[in-house]
Structure 1
């Protein structure tokens, strides 16, 4: 027996670290988020779990309405005889109830256009919505909402200096596109990129929001990893087209989010079909079945199949999302259904 070991060990002291981690996970899985009615582990709210000697360390990612769950964690883990103390690092964005990411495996599938129209549809249904354009290499959201170059105000708050987001179509917006010079290349290196994204997550005064949508850059690089690690994302929506090439890239995205503990809320298939203006028939120009295939693999819902409509592109160019400019169009109806599905999932609000 080594000199630092005690001959008076309790049986609990012989539990191996991996076994202790399993004990902690099993206890945490018994804590249910009351609105979504799923456990906090499956929802990706618990990350970076570590057991060091007799202490439990974890990051807890929450919305502004979920602070009471911290006490539940501390109380539940206090039942472990070997656990002397639980250290919980709360990760939240003040005032924001639900943070959702919108992602795609590759560029050109209409991810930003989809994000803007979902934000607009949520706003029309009464939600308070913010949109963080984190696509740092192609920040198109300001143009899609009719915002040009603008001076971003910095205000003083008790928590320090904060950026004040702009507002368009009733949606609060922050984007690197509002800060960068027009037509200049956005060539960010890793450390600078990390700092910009971290500032956007921590140093924006959003006020009270029901939803913050984060438009991620395509792919699986530094920007996406930083956002997964630093923000309280409670789910991601994946945008794809029916093509098998796009589906293959989305699969890589799926693995990145799963490794980060972020649940996939569903799939949106963009450019699904073209509607004939004369007979109303549907032509799947880019193939068919890709979104359904991915949804079956993920066991996640196919939230919507958005048709090809020139008015979607035109709306993005002039800063008028189709959801607001033509609410009766087939595309608008799909975006409205997607927003309604999100409201059903996160139905803890009384909008107003």
Structure 2
């Protein structure tokens, strides 16, 4: 029985080693009883980017081959022998401009703004990619309807490349493709930064006019790591009108202005600026206060790039995997103006 199980598993090939997982030593153990098959997969890397995909493939093939058994696949990661660090190569050479999208705190709609800006840039004829670096809550896979995407790898010029998802002609790579939602908050420090470095330098980005980076909220190690790995042309801060959110904007701007960082801030986007009911198109209700981000932008000497109101299509688009810029002309108009201002800043600083 064990040999039959291994024969099924031998049909699965690890994209990086190009060996089947039995021959490559990934299958670490197989146990069988009257009702259950348990397979242990052992990956040498502490965070193998293909572990989740291979686990899923193993479960599917075993269930098809042995339908009368309960299938359990256990993943163990981390080798006992340290490997020498490979010489760093990068796939970012074809990216013309990098824009960081940040927020001082969570819940201000940063990821929604990032997704809609990407579509607005694409509508203007630019080639666009998104790196979803928000390890605390990677949202871009849901924003673009590619939650089930499992990245594959290809061999190019002697190097392994991770193939990004593509949606609405936008190249998309997310930390969410490699971790379960329940694991996101467990990632800290070196574990998270090493994974993001791999995504930055091994993703097959191709030629892009703009790469947008959806950063985690706040300021911290993840931000500094990405800043050290990429030449960022400009940063955009997302806030809401509330004073408590505006206070956090100060921290975000000062991080980019720090002498050791020195990244120009294009300006602030005030999200959820007001609410207009469909039946009262001329009314504006300022649910979270009025003009907080504008006042701080003026005091800090940065530009208010634009105000985005609360619109039902923005919420629905995010939930359904279709950013609202692609389906609602009103939203497209607001974001088009903001995107044009950001392009000017990025090109000026690039």
Gap change, CA 1:157 and 1:313, over 3 Å in 2: same
Q: What is the total number of aligned residue pairs between the two structures?
A: 258
- Contact 2:91-2:200 at 8 Å conserved across structures: no
Structure-1-length-normalised TM-score? 0.70
Corresponding residue for residue 313 of structure 1: 315
**1:142 equivalenced with 2:141 (yes/no):** yes
The Cα offsets for residues 277-327 of structure 1, whole Å up to 9 and x where unpaired, read as 32512111100111111211221211110001121111000001110011x
SS of residue matched to 1:167: strand
Residue aligned with 2:105, SS:
coil
| Cα distance change, pair 281–157 in 1 and its aligned pair in 2 (3 A) | same
In structure 2, what is the equivalent of residue 178 of structure 1? Answer: 177
- Asked if 2 retains the 8 angstrom alpha-carbon contact of 1:241 and 1:286, the reply is yes
Q: What's 2:297 paired with?
A: 295
Q: Which residue matches 1:272?
A: 273
Deviation at 1:159, TM superposition (A): 6.3
Structure 1 pair 159–341 and aligned structure 2 pair: CA distance change class (3 A): farther
CA distance in structure 2 between the aligned counterparts of 1:336 and 1:197, rounded to whole angstroms:
29
What secondary structure sits across from 1:109 in the alignment? coil
Post-superposition CA distance 1:153-174 (Å, at most 9, x none): 1122226212111100110000
Could you tell me which residue of structure 1 aligns to residue 236 of structure 2? 237
CA 1:233/1:284 → structure 2, altered by over 3 Å: closer, same or farther?
same
Q: 1:95 to 1:189 in 2, by over 3 A?
A: same
> Closer, same or farther in 2 for the Cα pair 1:345/1:258, shift >3 Å?
closer
Does the CA-based 8 Å contact 2:137-2:184 persist in structure 1?
Answer: no
> Aligned partners of 1:138, 1:292: CA distance in 2, in Å?
27
Within 1, Cα distance between the matches of 2:347 and 2:133? 26
Per the alignment, residue 56 of structure 1 pairs with: none
Question: Are the aligned partners of 1:133 and 1:141 in contact in 2 as well (CA < 8 Å)?
Answer: yes
5+ residue gaps, structure 1, are 1-89
Query: Where does residue 342 of structure 1 map in the other structure?
Result: 342
2:216 counterpart residue number? 217
Shift of the 159–271 alpha-carbon distance from structure 1 to 2, 3 Å rule, reads farther
Alpha-carbon shift at residue 108 of structure 1 (Å)? 0.2
CA distance in 2, matches of 1:318, 1:133: 18
Q: What is the alpha-carbon distance in structure 1 between the residues aligned to residue 181 and residue 268 of structure 2?
A: 33
How far 1:340 moved relative to its partner? 1.9
Which digits, 9 at most, give the CA deviation of each residue in 1:193-243, with x for residues without a partner?
110111122111100000000000001111111111221111100000000
Distance 1:128 1:316 in 2: 21
Alignment correspondent of 2:166: 167
> 1:343 Cα shift?
3.3
**Which residue number corresponds to residue 261 of structure 1?**
262
Residue in structure 2 matched with residue 77 of structure 1 by the alignment:
none
| CA deviations over 1:17-65 (Å, ceiling 9, x no partner) | xxxxxxxxxxxxxxxxxxxxxxxxxxxxxxxxxxxxxxxxxxxxxxxxx
- Name the SS for the 1:307 alignment partner: strand
Partner of 1:152: 151
Q: How does 1:179-198 map to 2 (within 5 A)?
A: 179-181=178-180, 183-198=182-197
Find the counterpart in structure 1 of residue 125 from structure 2. 126
Once the two structures are TM-superposed, the CA of residue 346 in structure 1 deviates from its matched residue by: 4.8
How far apart in 1 are the matches of 2:347 and 2:254?
Answer: 28
- The 8 Å contact of residues 97 and 347 in structure 2, kept in 1 or not, is answered as no
**Inter-partner Cα distance in structure 2 for 1:100 and 1:174:** 15
CA distance in 2, matches of 1:303, 1:347: 16
CA distance in 1, matches of 2:311, 2:213: 24
Q: Secondary structure at the match of 1:304?
A: strand
User: Equivalences for 1:78-89 in 2 at 5 Å?
Assistant: none
Structure 2 gaps of 5+ residues are 1-88
**1:141, 1:279 → 2: CA distance?**
30
Q: 1:253 to 1:279 in 2, by over 3 A?
A: closer
Quick check: 2:99–2:235 contact (8 Å CA) kept in 1?
A: yes
**Please, which of 274, 282, 285 is the counterpart of residue 284 of structure 2?**
282
